[in-house]
Structure 1
Amino acid sequence: MTKQREPLSALAGRTVDTYERQATRYDAERGKSLFERPWLDRFSSLLPPGGSVLDAGCGTGDPIAHDLARRGLRVTGVDAAQAMIALARQKHPGGDWRQADMRTLDLGTVFDGVIAWDSFFHLTGDEQRATLPRLAGHLKPRGALMLTVGPEAGEVVGAVGGAPVFHASLSPDDYRAVLTGLGLAVIDFVPEDPDCNGHSVLLAQRT
C-alpha cells in the first residue's frame, strides 16, 4: 500500500514544534560563514549609525543578529521557539531575546530596520499576507525591511535537522503590491541569488 503524503497544511502547523525539537542540531549545523554579508551590508546601509533592528525569527542569534550587533546596531531578537531563545540567551547573554511569534507580534515600539531571514518563508501564504502589516507596523519612517522568500509563488518542503519543514512564498508581484499598500517601496528583489547560497532576497524601505 502506498503511504499517503501528509497535507502541507498539517506540516505548516508544526513548524514551531520542529524548531523546538531540532534547536540544538540546527544551531550546530547552521552555516556561520556569513555568505549573507553582502545583503546585510545593504540592509545596514539604510539604517542610521547605532540604529535599532528587529530580527523576527532570530533563531539562536547566529550568525545574523550577532553580525548586526557587531556593526553597532541595537538588535532585538524574537522567535516563536523557546528552545531557540534559550540558546540565544546562552550564547549571547547581553542580547535582547524574546519569545514571540511574528504572526501575532505587537511589541509596542518601532525600529529602524526589520529583518526576517530564513524565517518568514515558513509562514503560509495567508499568514504572510497577515504578517507583513505587523512587520511594517514595527518600522520607523524610512525604516528598512529585508526578507528571504521564494523565487515565485508556491509551497515546498525543506528540512531542519533532518525533519521536514514547510516553506511558502507569494509571487514577487504580490509582495510588491502588499508592501506598496503598506507604504514600502521594494528596493531590490533577487531570486535564488547565486552569491547568497541561492537565497531569494527582498529588500524594501518605508517611503
Structure 2
Amino acid sequence: MESVNPDKIREVYDRQAEGYDKARSRTLFEARWLTRFGDALPKGGRVLDLGCGAGEPISAWLIAEGFHLTGVDFSQAMLAIARERWPEGDWRVADMRDLDLPERFDGIIAWNSFFHLTPDAQRSTMARMARLLVPGGLLLVTVGPRAGEVSGTVAGETVYHASLSPAEYATLLETHGLLLTTFVAEDPSCGDLTVMMAKKHEGD
C-alpha cells in the first residue's frame, strides 16, 4: 500500500468539505441497509451517527424517519455544513477514538468512517461504541472485506483505510457484549461496500 498517514484524515476532510459534500451521492443506494437498521429500532429512538460529515444522505434519512439524532464528526468544516442545514440539530465535534458521551443510544451507525481508523484504534473504539449502546441496541458499520490496510480517496486526496478480518470483528464484538448478526462483503446492491451489523445482548 502507498504510505498514507492515518492522522492526516481530519485535515483532508476539513480541506475538502465543500467538494466532498457536493460530490456525495444522494441516491441512497444505502437505503436497504438503512431501512433494515431503522425498522429494528424503537420509533423515535436515539441514534448516534459517528462520522456524520455534512449530514447528507445518512443523517438526513435518519432525521426524516423521526429518529432523535446525534451527529458526531471530527471535521469542523463538515459539521459547519450540517449545522447550516439543520440549525436545531445535535451536532458535536469529537473524535470517535476518544468519544465519551453521557447518553446511551438505541442505534449507532458509522458509515464510511470507522474504516479510517487503524486496526488498533478500531479495537479500542469498538469498546467505546459498545458502551454507548443500550441493551438490545444495534450497530451498523461499513468496514473492509478482509484484514489489511489500503488507501482510498476523498475529493481526489489519498486517505487511509483499514479493516480487521470478519472473524476478528465477530470475536471483538462478542468480547464487548455484541453479537455479529450480518456481515456482507462487497455488497453489489450497496456500491460494493462491506457492511456489518451487530446487536448488543439484552442483559448487558
Q: Normalising by structure 2, report the TM-score.
A: 0.96
> Quick one: distance in 2 between partners of 1:44 and 1:179?
20
Give the equivalent residue in structure 1 for 2:123. 129
Paired with 2:150 and 2:25, the residues of 1 have a C-alpha distance of: 21
Alignment of 1:1-207 (within 5 A): 7-8=3-4, 11-207=5-201
What is the rounded CA distance, in whole Å, between the counterparts of 2:94 and 2:153 in structure 1?
22
Deviations 1:92-123 (A, max 9, x none): 21211110100000011100000000000000
RMSD, aligned α-carbons: 1.0
Q: Which runs of 5+ in 2 are unaligned?
A: none
Q: How big is the shift at 1:7?
A: 2.9
Hey, what's the Cα distance between the residues in 2 that align with 1:159 and 1:6?
A: 12
Residue segments in structure 1 that go unaligned for 5+ positions in a row: none
In structure 2, C-alpha distance between the alignment counterparts of 1:141 and 1:47, rounded to whole Å: 12
What is the count of residue pairs matched by the alignment?
Answer: 201
Corresponding letter in the other structure for 1:133? A
Moved over 6 A (4+): none
Task: Name the CA distance, whole Å, in 1 between partners of 2:177 and 2:100.
Answer: 19
How much identity, in percent, do the aligned residues show? 52
| Structure 2 Cα separation of the partners of residues 160 and 91 of structure 1 | 22
